[in-house]
Chains A and B, each alone.
Chain A
Amino acid sequence: EVKLVESGGGLVQPGRSLKLSCAASGFSFNDYWMGWVRQAPGKGLEWIGEINQDSSTINYTPSLKDKFTISRDNAQNTLYLQMSKLGSEDTAIYYCARAGAFTTAFDYWGQGVMVTVSS
Chain B
Amino acid sequence: DVQMTQSPYNLAASPGESVSINCKASKSISKYLAWYQQKPGKANKLLIYDGSTLQSGIPSRFSGSGSGTDFTLTIRSLEPEDFGLYYCQQHNEYPPTFGGGTKLELK
Contact = CB atoms under 8 A, between A and B. Distances in A.
Contact of B49 (A59, A61, A100, A110): A100
Interface of B: 32, 34, 36, 38, 41-46, 49-50, 53, 55, 87, 89, 91, 94-101
A32 interface: no
Interface string A43-85: 0111101000000000111100000000000000000000000
Interface of A: 4, 44-47, 49, 59-62, 95, 97, 100, 103-111
A44 B95 contact: no
A109 B96 CA distance: 16
- Secondary structure of the A contact surface, majority rule: strand
Given A47-B95, A104-B96, A109 B44 contact: yes
Contacts of B50: 103
B44 A44 contact: no
B34 A95 contact: no
Contact of B46 (A44, A62, A95, A100): A100
A108 B42 CA distance: 11
B49 A46 contact: no
A59 to B, nearest CB: 6
B9 to A, nearest CB: 11
B43 A47 contact: no
